[in-house]
A and B are shown apart, each in its own frame.
Chain A
Amino acid sequence: MSEPLSKIPGGMRYYFGAEARLRRSVEDTAMSVFDGWSYEEVTTPTVDYYALFERGMGHAEAHRSFRLTDTDGRLLALRPDVTSSAARAAATLFAERARPLRLCYAANVFRQQPRSHAEWRRESTQLGCELIGAGTASADMEVLIIAAEILQKLELSDFCITLSSVEIFNGVVAGLSLDEPGRAEMQRLIDIKDAAELQKFLAPHAPPHEIEAFARLTRLSGKRRTIEEAREVITNARSVAALDALENLWRVIESLNLTDFFEIDLGDVSGLDYYTGLIFKIYLAGAGGRVGRGGRYDQLTASFGRAEPATGFVLDLDAITEVLARNGSNLAQVSDSSVTVLSPANDENALFLQAKELRARGEKVKVISDE
């Protein structure tokens, strides 16, 4: 039996009407904030070599892309992210440009997802920016402020950006005798905040008082006090340096009166293979999952022949639009009241002459045709 043509592939969808308008205005808002911070829009290829994404995102993430073969047999992919391509451009096309580079985009990405997941979208739109060639704390702060500004401009107030650093986990794990699978298991247990299992798992690898301390890691989240609590249990130099950096960042956030929108979450240990310093996640009331993520990725551009520091984030346009739509946002209201309806006349020339004049004055018209 053949599939009916009416069927739409899972994880794909239409947008129309009020929702389409809202999407457009969310995108415009984000792009105007990026522009306000002097970020330049870049459009990357929709189809690119799979090898690019494998290098850029790591195998585990890249293998979820939709793949196809080129005429010469090389493996292509529908882009599963934009950052890989932006990093390549920075190292090649924009190699001669002054640093830092500020790039932004609104682009759809495609990922195969297991059906069971809550956010089962296989096509989604990322609003993102990359700040390449700046390794300073102020570069990290810049992208955080931009993310917060976009959400505020969208009149969203109940959001939370959680901060951590991959170096805190890396420092802790370096002191333990763990092989790669062991490291991955420890990461998984911290990620799901399962303190009891973590203690059991670590028993052969560390003295009891340290295990207690690491188990607390999973629960350490909150405001500034979190950093002080962490200092009591984490003493290795690498992690302490990361805590110092987070504390400095927090000081800036305090001075900007933005503490309501930020939290420290030292139990965030995702994307360790990719990020090299600060990592952050963006949560929004009304969305079940995260609506954005970002961080510092200083190793990525080296893959394309030019090692330089970089930081950035992406927001999930679809998830944000869904929340706005449910909250009854009036961000993209249109009124039909000012439409001039033009009825059919015997003289089509006159009809369109009138329409043309109205349009030249910027007015909205609607031509009614009757059969």
Chain B
Amino acid sequence: MLTIAIAKGRMQNEALRLLAGAGVSVSDEALRSRRLAVEDESGAYRFVFVKPADVPVYVEHGIADCGIVGRDVLLESEADLLQPLDLGIAACRIVVAARDGVKLKEMAALRVATKYPRVAEMHFGSLGIPVEIIELSGSVELAPVLDLADCIVDLVETGRTLAENGLSVVEVITDSTGRFVVNRASYQLKSEPVAELVDALAKVVNESGRKDD
């Protein structure tokens, strides 16, 4: 049996839709239940629904063989995982944003509020800009408004929350989409079922990509 860890929230429904397209579906009844671990209809797969940041943890430890999670989470986690497939779902960007009109150039030390301390540190490090990282766990947009920080590094889907708080994008650090990740040992020891699932998912992704064009 393959265990698949799925990031709860934003990505969950699209991930399940792709998996259903690949022939792996969970009954509505199982989904409606509050159980965090459910089996698919064939009994060949088990799903565990966990917080996005925990997906790399479950997969790296081999408790889950594979997982579906955003690239933003992978960049932040440092986990050593295989990433054979870009699923193209839940597309968004990690950006630097600041209050409209604020110039970030040539500040002696930039105060950056973020849920992505590692990404922020690497980004400003590569630019040679000294930063003070202020790690928050939510409502990051509030930080520049209340002058806790000069700017934020955050995930942006439509940009509406930014605009409503008087913030605008200064620069895009990177794009992020949902990725299919695999544990290194599972990739070798369960090579057949893993390869089958990767191939089936790749087919679904290619087809839906073509439809979008």
Contacts and interface: CB of A to CB of B under 8 A. Distances in A.
Interface of A: 114, 116-118, 158, 160, 162, 192-197, 218-219, 221-222, 263, 265, 281, 283-290
Given A284-B189, A287-B185, A290-B184, 18 more contacts: A118-B62, A118-B79, A118-B80, A192-B81, A192-B84, A193-B83, A193-B182, A194-B86, A195-B84, A219-B195, A265-B188, A281-B188, A283-B185, A283-B189, A284-B185, A288-B62, A289-B184, A289-B185
Contact of B185 (A114, A221, A265, A288): A288
Contact of B77 (A116, A162, A218, A222): A116
B86 A196 contact: yes
A117 B189 contact: no
7 contacts: A118-B79, A118-B80, A195-B84, A221-B188, A284-B189, A285-B185, A285-B189
B180 to A, nearest CB: 10
A192 B188 contact: no
Nearest to A158: B189
B62 A160 contact: no
A83 B104 CA distance: 49
Given A197-B86, A218-B84, A288 B79 contact: no
Contacts of A265: 188
A330 to B, nearest CB: 23
Contacts of A290: 184-185
Interface in B65-98: 77-86
B63 interface: yes
Contacts of B114: none
B82 A289 contact: no
Interface string B176-189: 00000011110111
A194 to B, nearest CB: 5
B141 interface: no
B188 A160 contact: yes
Interface in B106-162: none
A114 B77 CA distance: 11
- Nearest 9 Cβ contacts at the A-B interface: A288-B62, A118-B60, A288-B61, A193-B84, A283-B185, A118-B61, A192-B83, A283-B188, A193-B82
Contacts of A194: 83-84, 86
B191 interface: yes
B116 to A, nearest CB: 14
B82 A192 contact: yes
Interface string B181-206: 01111011101000100000000000
A160 B78 contact: no
Contact of A222 (B84, B185, B191): B191
B184 to A, nearest CB: 6
Contacts of B83: 192-194
Contacts of A283: 184-185, 188-189
B78 A114 contact: yes
Contact of A196 (B85, B188, B191): B85
Contacts of A195: 84
A197 B85 CA distance: 9
A365 to B, nearest CB: 43
B84 A116 contact: no
A107 to B, nearest CB: 24
Contacts of A197: 86
A263 B191 contact: yes
Given A196-B85, A288-B63, A289-B62, A117 B188 contact: no
A114 B80 CA distance: 11
A110 to B, nearest CB: 20
A288 B57 CA distance: 11
Interface string B31-53: 00000000000000000000000
A177 B80 CA distance: 28
B141 to A, nearest CB: 27
B84 A117 contact: no
Contact of B78 (A117, A158, A162, A284): A117
Contacts of B86: 194, 196-197
Contacts of B77: 116
Nearest to B60: A118
B50 to A, nearest CB: 15
A162 B184 CA distance: 12
Contacts of A118: 57, 60-62, 79-80
Contacts of B62: 118, 286-289
Nearest to A162: B188
Contacts of B189: 158, 160, 283-285
A117 B80 contact: yes
Contacts of B60: 117-118, 288-289
A320 to B, nearest CB: 13
Given A118-B60, A196-B85, A197-B86, A289 B80 contact: yes
A366 to B, nearest CB: 40
A263 B183 CA distance: 17
A57 B80 CA distance: 20
